[in-house]
Amino acid sequence: MRILLIEDDRDLAEGLRRALEQSGYTVDWIADGERANAVLKTDDFDLVVLDLGLPRLDGLSVLRQLRAREKHIPVLITTASDSVEARVKGLDLGADDYLGKPFELTELEARVRALLRRSQGRSTGELRAGNLLLDTNARRASIAAVPLDLPRRELCLLEILMTRMGKVVSKEQIASQLFSFDDEVSPNTIEIYVSRLRKKLAPAGPGIDTVRGLGYVLKP
C-alpha cells in the first residue's frame, strides 16, 4: 500500500515515514502543498496523510482540489490547530478522518489501517486465499498456520495481489504501489519480486499466474 505524507515539519515527517515503512507501507513525503497538489494530479496513492498548515498552498486547498478532481483517495488530516471550525471544514471538504497534534504514533497507525480497510470494503485486517492468511494489521502471512518469511516488499506485493484476488494486476499497478519516488526500478524488478513470492507460496499456497502482456493474477 502506498501512502502520500504531506507534512512540512521535517523531523516529524521523517519519524512518521520510518514508522510507516516499518509497518510495511510504501511512503512518499512532500513538504509543501503546491507540489503535493501537482503530484496528486498524476500519481495514484492508497491513502493521504495531510497536514493543514502547509507552505505555498494550505492543506484545505489541497483537499478541495483533490475532491474536485473526483479522486476518492482516503485522506487523514493532521493539524496542530484546536479549532473545531477547521476540523469541521476539513471533514465537509471530504476528509475521511482527523487527528490532532500531538498524537501517539500507534493511534495514527491504527487510523491508517482502518481507513485502508474501509476503502477496500473490508471489516477486518485479515485476507484469506485457501490456506493462505495475511494479517494486514500485524503484517504477517502464513500458510496453514505456518509463518512465511516475507520481507517488506514481498509482503506488500502479496497484499496487492490478495486485495485483487482473481483479477489481473499489471506491472505498472504493482510498481506504483510497491515503490516510492526515490526508488530505482529496472524493467525486470517486478518479475524478480513475483518470482520470489511465487516460490514461497508453492506448493502449499495459491499460485500466481502470469498473463502474458497484461500482468499477474493470484488464483482464488
For residues 201 and 196, give the distance between their C-alpha atoms in angstroms, rounded to a whole number.
9
For residues 139 and 218, give the distance between their C-alpha atoms in angstroms, rounded to a whole number.
19
Q: Averaged over 21-36, what is the pLDDT?
A: 94
Residue 15 has pLDDT above 90, yes or no: yes
Specify the DSSP class assigned to residue 148.
P
> Which cell numbers in the block locate residue 194?
513475483
Q: Averaged over 81-92, what is the pLDDT?
A: 83
What is the pLDDT at residue 83? Answer: 75
What is the pLDDT at residue 121? Answer: 86
For residues 23 and 25, give the distance between their C-alpha atoms in angstroms, rounded to a whole number.
6
**pTM of the predicted protein model:** 0.86
What is the pLDDT at residue 86? Answer: 80
What is the pLDDT at residue 5? Answer: 98
For residues 123 and 138, give the distance between their C-alpha atoms in angstroms, rounded to a whole number.
15
Sorting pLDDT into bands at 50, 70 and 90, what band is 125? confident
Q: List the domain boundaries for the chain.
A: 2-119, 126-218
pLDDT for 154-201, tens place per residue? 999 999 999 999 999 999 999 999 998 888 888 799 999 999 999 999
Cβ neighbors of 8 (< 8 A, separation 6 or more) are: 31, 32, 51, 53, 54, 55
What is the pLDDT at residue 112? Answer: 96
Kindly report the CATH class assigned to 2-119. Answer: alpha beta
For domain 126-218, the CATH architecture is Orthogonal Bundle (1.10)
